[in-house]
Amino acid sequence: MILDFRLYFRVRKCIDRDSLERSLEYTMDKKKPVAPVNELIVSLPGKEIKLFITADFEALITDLEDAEKVPCWAAVWPAAYGLACHIWEHITFRPDEEVLELGAGMGLPGIVCGLKGARLTLSDFNSQALEMARYNARANGVEPELLLADWRSFPEKKHFDLILASDILYDPKLNPSLGPIFHKNLRPGGRIFIAHPQREATFEFIKDWYDASLFTQQIHWETVELEDALLPRYKIAIQEFKKQEDSGAKG
């Protein structure tokens, strides 16, 4: 029964679709019609977050052969719900704390950090994702910085207090690029949250990357319920890594 769910998500048709489409039009592929959007309501305990997401995922696919062109940024993945809930319920921020969300897609966990008072940088290599994520952040009263960057050539931007990685460690070919980003962009004493639906590739990455002399680690679990007839329930692993305060030279 739906009220028993700890987390509940529902999608409904966007009421003010035209104005959102106009605002996104300039970032969308001009050769294709502007993708219609749906409104997604994310219900966290005591808080509703409204996100606009594409209504037609397949319309954004330009080349099925090329994994980089599959628009996985356009969905909100179960890991993002789980991480958003974990942050909402368990994490507090000082006003000057800086959060970087990598592979942000629609940016849900980052938006929750912004709602809790952190300064937010949303990052992705897809500019449409970043525009939509910014639109969604603003719709919820959060003003993010945007960082358009590919993990394979990622800048050393600044030393963040928290780095969010929601379902981004799924590709064994790309995963090795993430380790150096974590090391170079996290301050000593800072934390990384890696959220995933228990992916083998993510556990493998962590096994290779984790260095107990640099980080302490904890694992948290969130159960996510979705309105999905096929896969309604996910157990999301949230692996938390805290960088040692004296790790400066070693990282």
Ligand X SMILES: C[S@@+](CC[C@H](N)C(=O)[O-])C[C@H]1O[C@@H](n2cnc3c(N)ncnc32)[C@H](O)[C@@H]1O
C-alpha 70/C-alpha 26 separation (Å) is 20
Sheet containing 186-196: give its strands across: 145-148, 119-124, 98-102, 160-166, 186-196, 233-243, 215-225
C-alpha 9/C-alpha 85 separation (Å) is 12
Q: Which residue lies nearer to ligand X by CB, 103 or 144? A: 103
Backbone angles phi, psi at 175, to 5 degrees: -55, -40
Q: Could you say whether residue 202 binds ligand X (CB under 6 A)?
A: no
Stretch that binds ligand X, among 30-38, 58-66, 75-83, 205-213 (CB under 6 A): 75-83
Stretch that binds ligand X, among 9-17, 72-80, 135-143, 212-220 (CB under 6 A): 72-80
What dihedral angle (degrees, nearest 10) is formed by the CA atoms of 65, 69, 72, 73? 180
Q: Closest separation between CB of residue 176 and ligand X, Å?
A: 12
Site string (138-167) toward ligand X, x via CB under 6 A:
------------xxx-------------xx
Q: Could you say whether residue 72 binds ligand X (CB under 6 A)?
A: yes
Q: Closest separation between CB of residue 134 and ligand X, Å?
A: 14
Q: Which residue lies nearer to ligand X by CB, 34 or 168? A: 168
What dihedral angle (degrees, nearest 10) is formed by the CA atoms of 124, 126, 130, 131? 170
Reported in sequence order, the residue ranges of 92-207 that DSSP labels E, i.e. its strands, are 98-102, 119-124, 145-148, 160-166, 186-196
Which residues in 100-139 contact ligand X (CB under 6 A)? 103-106, 124-126, 129
Binding site for ligand X (CB under 6 A): 72-73, 76-77, 79-80, 103-106, 124-126, 129, 150-152, 166-168, 174
